[in-house]
Structure formats: structure tokens, C-alpha cells
Structure 1
Amino acid sequence: MRITGEQRRRRLVVRQLALGAHGPGADPVTTAEEVTERLVALHATDAPSVHLAVLARVPGLTLDDVRDALFERRSLVKVLAMRRTMFVVPRDLVPVVHAGASGGVARRLRTRLLKELGTLPTDPVVDDPEALLAAAEAQVHAALVEQGPLDGAQLSRAAPLLRTAFLPTTDKAWDVRRTLTSPLLSVLSAEGSVVRGEPRGAWSSPRHVWSPMSDWFPDGIPALDEDAARVELARAWLAAFGPATVADLKWWTGWNLGQARRAVAALDAREVEVEVGPPGQEPVVAEGVMLRSTDLDSDLDPAFDDVVAGHAALLPTLDPTTMGWTARDWYLGPHRPQLFDSAGNAGATVWWQGRVVGAWVPRPDGEIAWRLLEDVGADGEAAVAAEAARLTVLLGGTGFTPGYVTPLYRELLAAG
């Protein structure tokens, strides 16, 4: 069975973007929690992206709706997980993500940090890396319990061992003095003992606070078997992102190829062919997989014709759809050099009918500027303009600075 690029783009619109639409097999989404469940996880490295990823998919939701899910109901939780990246996941999925992804990340981060403490020059000199790290952890936990929530600067004052510094070893511009604060908080986040909370100041601020994970899970994150958790995480990802390749799953999870193959083998899945080449060109086919429960017929139902034909979206940096696969040509086309930075991070993108067609940026006053990289017709331009106007209203006259700058982003800012 072959799944064409057009069919994949249609499913992308129905299952990932137009989540407020009515249709067979897809109940309309109405909450930030439901958006996150449909997408498995939202990228949270760049502070504004979580809010914007939700607002792009469900008209009627607001910045406050997302904030309440994150910090009032605490039904969405920030975790350091797949690919050593910060994500927001539904509370019920936290144990699966923790065992299936975060645990392996935590072990690698702790091993690396201990090695750096033992081999790099530090101020003061560290004679016993394990003892220093244990003492610093104890200071962090005591400070958070007694004084929390605290941001990184407050923590470094309350837990003085965090001010232990790694000294430069080269004359490179990037090789600067850095303290223990950030790497240790990454370790503790991946281990599930601390959680990133609400930012200080504006909703888009990168200055976030930390709290003990016990504030979210009083009895700790429920423990699961790692192999079983990987199977469940693969099932959730394939339900949202399949049909896809095992290489896509491997990349998204950060697993090795053996772990990805074993997880898929434990599922009720079938092998398929998926087209991975750019739209409008000779098909490029790869071996793929999909859950047998995947209802492609519903996604292809004519009831969704108008939804797909008229759908435009403005997705934020590191959006879960833009970053959902490692093979992206089938929805990205030739636009990668302009819309991704040199490290492979996606900027803010304009979508039309399930494919990337341009970019957008927020102005300091909250107005949205955008540019198309291909002709989408008068209807497409009108739909994009309407989405930009809707988002401008939601931002309420306040802009923000995305954390990842792409070539086209720079051009749009310079043109403003």
C-alpha cells in the first residue's frame, strides 16, 4: 500500500492543524489539553511556541487558556525529554515520556556533567565531582522546597554551589566562563525531580522559574518499564504522525535505531510505502509504517474537502508539526534553507493546504508581518492575511522575540 504525499498532507491538515473542524472520525478540539494530546507533545524550548502552537490550531482559544492549562490546572507539564529538548506533554503521558525518553537523556547528561567536572578547569577547583554534584543537588532541592519557585539567578544565590564555574580552555568566542546552574538543572529536569514553571514577567519571557516535581506529582512520577514505555510512546507518535518511516520515529524520539525498531515491532502496525519527495515532483518513495487502527478513510472523506482546500496556518518556531519528521520535503518543499537555522531549528512558518509556503515574524507592537515564497493564489493570500490579523488581535499589541533566527526572519525584520 502506498500513501501519497497529497494524502499525507491532507491527513496533516485534518489531524494536526485544523483541529477545530467538524468531520467524520475527528471530534473538534476545544482546549489546550486536547491540542497537546493530538500532537503528543509541544516543543517548549522557545517560550512563546507552546502558546502559539495552540492558538494556531483552535480559533477561540487565548493566551490565558494556555497559561491556565500549564500553571493553574497543571494538566500540561514541561519535561526535558526527546532529543534532550524541553517539551510540554499531557499530565497522563508524563510517566510514559519520562521512562521512554527522559531516563536515557538523564543518564547521558549526568555522565557528561561528571566528566566535565573531573576534566575541565573549574573555579573553585573540584576534587570530588560526585560529592560536589550531590551537595549542589541537595542545595537546589532545599532552596526550592523552602523558597520556591525560583528562577536560575535566584537559585544560584540560594544554592551557592551552583556558582561553581567551568573556565574557558580556548580563545573561541563561544568558549566562555559558565556556571553549574544550567547543566545541573537540565540533569534534574530530565531525572524528573524539578519542573520548569511559569516565566517571570510576560508570557513570552525566557526567564522561567523552577519548582520541585513534587508540586506537580506529590508521590513522584509513576515508574514504568522503559521498554514498555517506548512502545507506548511509539504508538502515540504513530497515531499522530503516521504513516511515517522508522527513521522519522528514531529522530523524533532520540532513540537509537534498534530501540525504534523494537518499539514498532511490538505494535499492531503494518508496513506501507510513503512518498517523501517535494510536492509537484516525481514521487520519492520510502519504506514506512502505520498503525492498523489508522483511519485513512476518514481523513480522505469528502467532508473535509473544504477544510483542506481553504486551510492556512501560522505556526511558531519549533512547532511540533514542522519538527514532526526528519524527512520533510513532502510538506517543506525547497524552502528549508530560508526557514531553518544552521542547527536545524525551524523558524515561524506559513502553511497553505498542508505545506509550508512562507514565513512570518511578530513586530514589537504585536503586528504580524509575513512573506510567501510561492504563489498560493488569491484565496490562499487572503486566508494567510486573515490568520495574521487574527493572531495580531490575540497578541493584544505586544510583540516578542523568537529564540531561533532564520535567514528569512532576518529579512522580514530588516524590511519592517
Structure 2
Amino acid sequence: MGEQTRYIDGAERRARLALRHRLTPAGRAATPEAVAASLVALHGTDPATVYLAVGARLGEPARAVPETERALYGDRTLVRMHGMRHTVFVFPTELTAVVHASTGLVVAARARAALVNDMAKAGAPDAAWLKEVEESTLAALGRLGQATATELAREEPRLREQFAYAAGKSYEGVHTVSTRLLRLLGVEGKVVRGRPLGSWTSSQFRWALAPAHPELDPAHAQAELLRRWLTACGPATEGDLKWWTGWKVSDVRRALRSIGARAVTLDEGTGYVVEGDVDPVAAPEEPWAALLPCLDPTTMGWQARDWYLAPELRPALFDRSGNVGPTVWWNGRVVGSWAQRADGGIAWRILAGEGVGREAEAAIAAEAERMTGWLGDARVTPRFRTPVEKELAG
């Protein structure tokens, strides 16, 4: 008979989540770098999410904005770049080579081919012309340090060229070379998002040259990325891993074998943990509450979410594209949502049908007060708005 795998129930998975994602008061971090390392990646599609995710996990949340800006734009210990699933994340700088080799190379090849093909269909200049513009743009960015697309176009006017896209189809439009090319260079790991134009909540940003990194073997890089993520988020199913990475299932399976991952039994079926992580994990000693932002890496960490998010709550918490809005957590479960009002106050609502009790409500209210204090005069509107968030914002 084969060795019987250990069963890990939902309660233990919630305990692991709380401890490893620094969501308990005792487990909060001292720096944004520590937060990012614990989570592997912070979602960066909505710029404010990075700061809110850090603030929720710092022992001194008032330091979330200045310390995250230091890490991103001063010390460059964190980098905002394209990663898994063609999505923008913030990674520890030492992971940029791993992300690029494990995920970016395949996506980048497709993106370059698509751009060349779209330009050819529109009768725009060819790949050789595009390469010239690319090299000139990177040289200009090297001279300027950081620059917006408009500023780069002053140095390289060909970035202003336009071409028709998907002519004759319902989604046809006109693309500017700068928009498509800079995005492509981001996917290829040649440029990264720089300091925003305005405050930390701004979606307008500058571009900067990507930090130099070694070229890694893709299979080794995939193994390393999966090992880090499974350490932070395991156990997880093969489906979770395929969804989070955006890889082919064959890549996921090869990486699991490479790191010697151990199989366990979950309510969803077979799951995996890193070697040495099979032993039981006890729940935190004290109950905890958290207010996490839209697209928070904990809420978006797994494809199968029933063990921490009841299916009946999803219509109120997600937009039509599957982006999660702000969430209220109690002891490892999503129980409601929150929003910032125009006056700066935090409004929250419990959505869980059975309620959560007075202890939970008091802890959630304390977290709302904590957030109100460190946000100060800043006003945050999620980029992807959900029904309940809009209602609470008023």
C-alpha cells in the first residue's frame, strides 16, 4: 500500500494563511520588503493596492506610504513589473530574474509577435523599423532616468506613430506605437513602472529601465517561483498553481517534481506543500480582523476559494471581470466589504449570513479606525469597483 497523504482541512488552511500572510497583530511586519517577501508578489494593477496591502500588514501602518515609496523608488528593493498572467505586480528585486525567466519570456514572445502582426495588417512599418524605435527609446530612457510616454516621444518622435487595430471588428480602434511598445518592453523585462505622476494613488506613471538581472534557465526559475509561492500559500491544488502562474499544466507538474513537493489531501482533492511543510499548523492564539484592498494577494491567491470565501458573497464582492473589491476578514474568512467615504471615514458591512458576533465587530471597527488614521487626507477609490463598495462609498 502507498503512503497515505495527510488531510489538511479548511481551518488549518486559514491558520496558515493568517500566520504566513502577516494578518495577525502579532505577525505584522516592520518593512514593505518583509511584506512582499511573505506574499511573493503584491498586485500592482491598481497602484493604491500596493500601499494598502502593505499598510494592512505593517506594525506601524503610518509608515506604509513613505516606506513603500522608499523601497520602490529610492532603494529599489521592490520593483513594479509585469509578471504572472500578463499582470502588473510588485516583486522583491531579487525575484525579477526568476519572474522574467519563469513567466515573462513566453508571454513576451507572444506579445512581440502580436504587435508585429498587428502593425503589418495595418500597413505600418515593419519589425526592423520597430527595433530601431525600441533601441532609440531605451537609449532615451537611459539618458532621462525616468520618463513618461509623452516625454519619451519628444526624444523619439516615431513613438507618436499610430496604426489601425482590428479593422472591421466591433473592437476596432487606433493604437499608438508608444502604448504598445512600452507595454511590450515591460513584458520583456527591459523597462519597469517608475514613480507616479502625483500621489501614491495615481494611475499615471513614468517608465524606468529595468534593473540588470542574470538570465536564468526557465525550468529552474519556474521551480524557484513555485517553491516560494507554495511556501507562502500552500497547500494548493494543481488548478490553483496553474491559475496563479499562468503556466501550462506540464510546467506546473515539472516544477512540483523539481522541488520535491509533497501531496496532501484537501476538500478540493489533492493539494501540494513544499517538502518539510506537512506537519500540522495551529491556529493563531488570538482572533484577528483585517481590511484588505481590492486585488489583495491573499484574497486573489487561489482559484478555488470556498475555504475562505463563501460562494454567496461573490456577486457583491467581485466585478464582472472577476476582480475582487475591498474585503473584511475575520479569523481567516471573508465576511464583508469596506469602502472609504468622501469624508475619509471607513464604512464597512458584514455580508456573511450568520453574522460574526460582537467580538468580531469590535475588532473590525478597530481595524477601520486604524486605517482611517494612517490614510489621513488621502482618498482611495478602487480601480475595479464592486456593487457593495460603491454603495458603502456613498
Short-chain TM bin: over 0.9
Q: CA deviation at 1:295?
A: 6.1
Between the aligned partners of 2:375 and 2:89, the Cα distance in structure 1 is 22
Match 2:276 to one of 293, 296, 304? 293
Q: CA deviation at 1:143?
A: 2.1
Match of 1:234 in 2: 226
Counterpart of 2:241, as a letter, is: L
Q: Say if 2:383 is the partner of 1:412.
A: no
- DSSP 3-state at the match of 2:215: coil
Q: Deviations over 1:216-275 (max 9, x none)?
A: x3xx21111000000011100110110110111111111011101110011122111112
Counterpart of 1:39, as a letter, is: L
State the aligned residue count. 383
Counterpart of 2:209, as a letter, is: P
Q: CA deviation at 1:355?
A: 0.9
Between the aligned partners of 1:87 and 1:42, the Cα distance in structure 2 is 5
Q: Say if 2:376 is the partner of 1:379.
A: no
Between the aligned partners of 1:56 and 1:199, the Cα distance in structure 2 is 22
Matches within 5 A, 1:15-414: 15-18=20-23, 21=26, 29-61=29-61, 62=63, 63-119=65-121, 121=122, 125-128=123-126, 130-167=127-164, 169-170=167-168, 172=170, 175-213=172-210, 217=211, 220-275=212-267, 285-294=268-277, 296-297=279-280, 299-300=281-282, 304-306=284-286, 310-334=287-311, 335-374=313-352, 375-413=355-393
Q: CA deviation at 1:14?
A: 1.2
Between the aligned partners of 2:288 and 2:172, the Cα distance in structure 1 is 45
Between the aligned partners of 1:322 and 1:108, the Cα distance in structure 2 is 29
Counterpart of 1:363, as a letter, is: R
Q: 1:152·1:209 contact (CA, 8 Å) conserved in 2?
A: yes
Between the aligned partners of 2:114 and 2:343, the Cα distance in structure 1 is 42
- Per the alignment, do residues 328 and 408 of structure 1 end up closer, same or farther by CA in structure 2, a change over 3 Å counting? same
- DSSP 3-state at the match of 1:332: coil
Matches within 5 A, 1:1-12: 1-12=6-17
Q: 2:43·2:50 contact (CA, 8 Å) conserved in 1?
A: yes
Between the aligned partners of 1:229 and 1:221, the Cα distance in structure 2 is 13
- Per the alignment, do residues 91 and 330 of structure 1 end up closer, same or farther by CA in structure 2, a change over 3 Å counting? same
Between the aligned partners of 1:359 and 1:178, the Cα distance in structure 2 is 37
Between the aligned partners of 1:109 and 1:411, the Cα distance in structure 2 is 38
Indicate the RMSD between aligned Cα atoms, in angstroms: 1.8
- DSSP 3-state at the match of 2:26: coil
Counterpart of 1:356, as a letter, is: V
Between the aligned partners of 1:104 and 1:171, the Cα distance in structure 2 is 27
Counterpart of 1:50, as a letter, is: V
- DSSP 3-state at the match of 1:289: strand
- DSSP 3-state at the match of 1:356: strand
Q: 2:22·2:35 contact (CA, 8 Å) conserved in 1?
A: no
Gaps of 5+ in 1: 23-27, 276-284
Counterpart of 1:257, as a letter, is: V
The percent identity for this pair of structures is 44
Counterpart of 1:393, as a letter, is: G
**Structure 1 length normalisation: TM-score?**
0.88
Q: Deviations over 1:2-28 (max 9, x none)?
A: 110111111111111426525xxxxx6
Counterpart of 2:47, as a letter, is: A
Q: Deviations over 1:311-369 (max 9, x none)?
A: 11111111111111111111111211111111111111111111111111222343222
Counterpart of 1:318, as a letter, is: L
Q: Deviations over 1:200-225 (max 9, x none)?
A: 11111011111112xxx3xx211110
Q: 2:83·2:104 contact (CA, 8 Å) conserved in 1?
A: yes
Between the aligned partners of 2:130 and 2:193, the Cα distance in structure 1 is 20
Q: 1:270·1:289 contact (CA, 8 Å) conserved in 2?
A: yes
Between the aligned partners of 1:403 and 1:155, the Cα distance in structure 2 is 26
Q: CA deviation at 1:296?
A: 4.3
After superposing the two structures, state which structure 1 stretch, 191-200 or 143-152, moved more. Answer: 143-152
- DSSP 3-state at the match of 1:178: strand
Counterpart of 1:360, as a letter, is: W
Q: CA deviation at 1:117?
A: 1.0
Between the aligned partners of 2:342 and 2:177, the Cα distance in structure 1 is 34
Q: CA deviation at 1:41?
A: 0.7
Counterpart of 2:135, as a letter, is: A
**Structure 2 length normalisation: TM-score?**
0.92
Match of 2:3 in 1: none
- Per the alignment, do residues 171 and 94 of structure 1 end up closer, same or farther by CA in structure 2, a change over 3 Å counting? closer
Q: 1:17·1:313 contact (CA, 8 Å) conserved in 2?
A: no
Between the aligned partners of 1:56 and 1:256, the Cα distance in structure 2 is 33
Counterpart of 1:384, as a letter, is: I
